[in-house]
């Protein structure tokens, strides 16, 4: 295991001790807009020290929704009046924007004097899609200027925008470089207030904080070097996946995964190094304590990461436990997770329920919606079918911190997850560091009740799924040795597909209807009597089968469930029905599966809670 005990000598030379050094540019006011996703009711919990959000002392000012209308549509989300002090005649604004969804988005930054219902200045960010044209438009006092955001986005999806207001006009910067100016008479009377209006009708559950991550307000003119330094500060935050440079906070977790009848694994990460313990017990009084002063250390390059893990063991099966992570940074800052709960696994023939999701990817706002709905079911665990992130490989750590753990984290503080790796985390770099799984941490198995789950790494399907390949031989051996009542396989890529264009363009001709490399291992499913194969990758729902020897076989066939709709960009189906297709649904969703002795019951729900599929498998009597 890649665990290294931390010494104070290391801290002295770590990036944490340096911060951004002399490059720091102090803001008069700065606001971070990270979402605070929580479960409902008594389970509401936000671990650690909170990051302050905008709060205005000018609450008597009423935002004029009519004036904020864009293309005759009222805003879908607004933030109003969060300037703490009046702005001088010359000032600068700074914004961090993350655009990682494939839908049109518009965000207005509205400056207006308190006594004037008409906006003095509107800065409008508009993007047609994730990969499409992005513009910044200025509207004010008879001026209307448009600037296309041409600078290369940082890590594909991030823009740093700065606007300098002086008496002669405005100057715009993107990612540290000037992109245009607007001559304007900036003389004015009264006090400016800043409000934000977002237009997100194409993206359900989306809020301003999903697009805008920081607002910086400077009561002076920033020069070009200072603006570039601020851009570098954004890069530093994003690369490290942190939310604040001064506040001790969780950047990931706490996160439960791989529970057994007698243990559970917990992972968490902090922005700076710390020491601490996990206190736990059968009631909120806790009583037991294990220390957690070990940290994962990134050995490549010079950057340190502070990822901690703890395994609580010697527990009782199917028993509720309470836990609290109590931490102190090396500088003396204190932080707790708050009291949380989990339940150990069932053993033997006891009934259990698990949730099924896949492809959480780019939408923490959708992940959060699904997390809240799954929580209402109180499943024993969640099976995740890969693409936890859209592209959370080694250079893109932020996709774990700002998206995956942000969106699904509230659920996995209380309900453990069993994941497989998708192509989004196919290098396994952060996937390994954020999980403690058996064996090679790329493929593994676990038993739960009267079922056994074989979790494959289909990123290596071309070589390892072929007869004689590493996973082929492992699965063949493991299945032959298993006497479990229910046998399940989970992987990311599609053995069978009803998709319109992942395996050829179904609107132009015949397509492969599945991944030919994954098909190499399918005979093992049939040979050893696998009951159900779960997979994602395709961002829709499909129930297929039962299939044996590439045809429908009601007696010996294997069922295939594709559940890839938990947050990735949605996909659609081929224009004609596949021979193996039984049910399709082209939208976001999740599933719950009840196992009760010899009965398997699947229910699939959309984001409104409507059941869209109901399916039963019953084992034949002996």
Judging by beta carbons within 10 Å of its beta carbon (0-12, 13-18, 19+), is residue 620 exposed, middle or buried? exposed
Q: How confident is the model over 457-472, as a mean pLDDT?
A: 97
pTM comes to: 0.92
DSSP alpha helices (H): ranges in 326-387? Answer: 364-377
- Quote the CA–CA distance of 296 and 413 in Å, as a whole number: 20
Q: pLDDT tens digit string along 547-570?
A: 999 999 999 999 999 999 999 999
Report whether pLDDT(575) > 80: yes
What is the model's pLDDT at position 186? Answer: 67
Residue 599: partners with Cβ closer than 8 Å, 6 or more residues away: 616, 617, 618, 619
Angle between helices 405-412 and 364-377 in degrees, nearest 10: 10
Residue 5 pLDDT greater than 60, yes or no: no
Mean pLDDT for 484-501 is 96
Reported confidence tier of residue 115, pLDDT bands at 50, 70, 90: low
Q: Check residue 317 and give its pLDDT.
A: 93
pLDDT of 533: 98
Question: pLDDT tens, 322-375?
Answer: 999 999 998 899 999 999 999 999 988 999 999 999 999 999 999 999 999 999
- Per residue in 394-440, pLDDT (tens digit) is 999 999 999 999 999 999 999 999 999 999 999 999 999 999 999 77
The per-residue pLDDT for 113 is 74
Q: Are 114 and 193 in contact (CB under 8 A)?
A: yes
Residue 463 has pLDDT above 70, yes or no: yes
pLDDT tens sequence across 150-194? 778 999 999 999 999 988 889 999 999 999 999 877 665 557 788
Contact partners, residue 90, CB within 8 Å, separation at least 6: 165, 166, 167, 186, 220, 221
The whole-number pLDDT of residue 594 equals: 98
- Return the DSSP state at 164: E
Share of the chain above pLDDT 90, in %: 74
* pLDDT, tens only, 504-528: 999 999 899 999 999 999 999 999 9
Report pLDDT digits (tens) over 216-259.
999 999 999 999 999 999 999 999 999 999 999 999 999 999 99
Question: Are the CB atoms for 537 and 386 separated by under 8 Å?
Answer: yes
- List pLDDT tens digits, range 61-114: 444 444 455 666 788 888 877 777 788 888 999 999 999 999 999 999 988 776
d(CA 436, CA 434): 7
Q: Assess whether pLDDT exceeds 50 at residue 1.
A: no
- The per-residue pLDDT for 128 is 87
By the 8 A CB rule, do 344 and 25 touch?
no
Using CA atoms, how far apart are residues 182 and 139, in angstroms rounded to an integer?
A: 10
pLDDT, greater one: 441 or 564: 564
Give the per-residue pLDDT at 15: 38
- DSSP labels, 432-486: HHT---STTSSSEEEEEBTEEEEE--GGGHHHHTSTTSHHHHHHHHHHHH---SE
Give the C-alpha separation, 542 to 206, whole Å: 26
Structural domains of the chain, ranges and CATH numbers in brackets: 1-19+245-345 (2.60.40.10), 20-240 (2.60.120.200), 346-618 (3.60.21.10)
Of residues 14 and 364, the one with the higher pLDDT is: 364
Would you state the pLDDT for residue 302?
Answer: 46
Strand pairing partners for 353? 594
* Of the candidate ranges 50-59, 193-202, 570-579, the one whose mean pLDDT is the lowest: 50-59
For the segment 446-457, the average pLDDT, to the nearest whole number, is 97
CB 225 within 8 A of CB 177: no
Give the β-pairing of 486-490 and 532-535. parallel
Distance separating alpha carbons of residues 64 and 421, to the nearest angstrom: 47
Q: Is 181 helix (H, G, I), strand (E, B) or coil?
A: strand
pLDDT for 185: 72
pLDDT at position 58 over 60: no
E strand or H helix at 234: helix 224-240
> Mean pLDDT throughout 589-608?
97
- Lowest average pLDDT, out of 290-304, 306-320, 521-535, goes to 290-304
Q: From CA 616, how far away is CA 582, in angstroms rounded?
A: 13
Candidate from 46-50, 137-141, 208-212 with smallest mean pLDDT: 137-141
Among 9-23, 100-114, 598-612, which stretch is predicted with the lowest mean pLDDT? 9-23
Q: What is the mean pLDDT of the chain?
A: 89
Percent of the chain's residues with pLDDT above 70: 90
pLDDT of the residue at 56: 55
Which letter, b or e, does each residue of 129-141 get, where b requires 16 or more Cβ atoms within 10 Å of its Cβ? ebeeebebbbbbe
């Amino acid at each position: 295991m890649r665990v290294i005990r931390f010494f104070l000598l290391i801290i002295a030379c770590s990036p944490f001790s340096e911060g951004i050094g002399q490059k720091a540019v102090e803001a008069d006011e700065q606001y971070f807009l990270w979402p605070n996703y929580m479960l409902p009711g008594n389970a509401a919990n936000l671990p650690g020290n909170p990051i302050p959000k905008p709060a205005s002392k000018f609450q008597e000012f009423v935002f004029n929704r009519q004036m904020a209308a864009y293309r005759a549509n009222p805003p879908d989300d607004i933030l109003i009046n969060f300037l703490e002090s009046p702005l001088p005649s010359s000032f600068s604004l700074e914004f961090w924007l993350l655009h990682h969804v494939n839908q049109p988005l518009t965000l207005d930054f509205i400056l207006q004097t308190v006594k004037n219902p008409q906006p003095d200045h509107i800065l409008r960010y508009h993007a047609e899609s994730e990969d499409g044209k992005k513009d910044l438009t200025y509207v004010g006092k008879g001026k209307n200027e448009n600037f296309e955001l041409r600078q290369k986005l940082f890590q594909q999806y991030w823009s740093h925008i700065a606007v300098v207001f002086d008496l002669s006009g405005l100057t715009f910067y993107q990612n540290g470089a000037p992109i245009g100016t607007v001559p304007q008479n900036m003389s004015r009377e009264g006090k400016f207030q800043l409000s934000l209006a977002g237009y997100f009708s194409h993206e359900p559950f989306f809020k301003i904080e999903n697009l805008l991550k920081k607002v910086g307000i400077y009561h002076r003119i920033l020069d070009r070097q200072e603006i570039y330094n601020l851009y570098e500060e954004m890069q530093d935050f994003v690369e490290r996946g942190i939310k604040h440079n001064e506040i001790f906070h969780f950047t990931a977790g706490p996160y439960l995964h791989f529970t057994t009848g007698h243990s559970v694994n917990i992972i968490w990460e902090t922005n700076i190094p710390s020491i601490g313990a996990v206190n736990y017990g059968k009631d909120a009084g806790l009583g037991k304590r294990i220390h957690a002063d070990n940290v994962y250390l990134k050995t490549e390059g010079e950057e340190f990461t502070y990822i901690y893990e703890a395994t609580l063991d010697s527990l009782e099966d199917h028993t509720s436990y309470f836990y609290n992570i109590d931490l102190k940074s090396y500088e003396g800052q204190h932080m707790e997770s708050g009291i949380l709960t989990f339940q150990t696994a069932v053993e033997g023939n006891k009934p259990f329920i698990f949730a099924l999701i896949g492809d959480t990817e780019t939408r923490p706002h959708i992940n959060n919606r699904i997390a809240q709905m799954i929580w209402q079911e109180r499943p024993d665990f969640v099976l995740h079918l890969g693409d936890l992130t859209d592209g959370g490989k080694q250079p893109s750590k932020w996709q774990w911190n700002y998206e995956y753990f942000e969106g699904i984290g509230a659920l996995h503080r209380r309900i453990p997850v069993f994941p497989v790796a998708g192509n989004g985390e196919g290098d396994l770099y952060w996937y390994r560091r954020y999980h403690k799984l058996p064996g090679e941490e790329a493929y593994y198995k676990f038993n739960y009740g009267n079922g056994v789950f074989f979790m494959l790494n289909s990123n290596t399907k071309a070589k390892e799924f072929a007869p004689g390949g590493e996973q082929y031989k492992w699965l063949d051996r493991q299945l032959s040795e298993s006497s479990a009542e229910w046998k399940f396989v989970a992987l990311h890529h599609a053995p069978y597909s009803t998709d319109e264009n992942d395996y050829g363009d179904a609107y132009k001709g015949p397509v492969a209807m599945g991944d030919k490399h994954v098909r190499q291992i399918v005979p093992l499913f049939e040979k050893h009597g696998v009951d159900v194969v779960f997979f994602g990758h395709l961002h829709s729902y499909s129930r297929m089968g039962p299939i044996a020897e590439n045809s429908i076989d009601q007696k010996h066939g294997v069922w295939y469930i594709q559940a890839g709709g938990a947050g990735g960009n949605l996909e659609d189906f081929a224009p004609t029905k596949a021979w193996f297709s039984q049910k399709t649904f082209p939208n976001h969703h999740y599933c719950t599966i009840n196992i009760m002795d010899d009965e398997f019951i699947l229910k699939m729900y959309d984001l409104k809670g409507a059941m869209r599929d109901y399916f039963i498998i019953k084992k034949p009597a002996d």
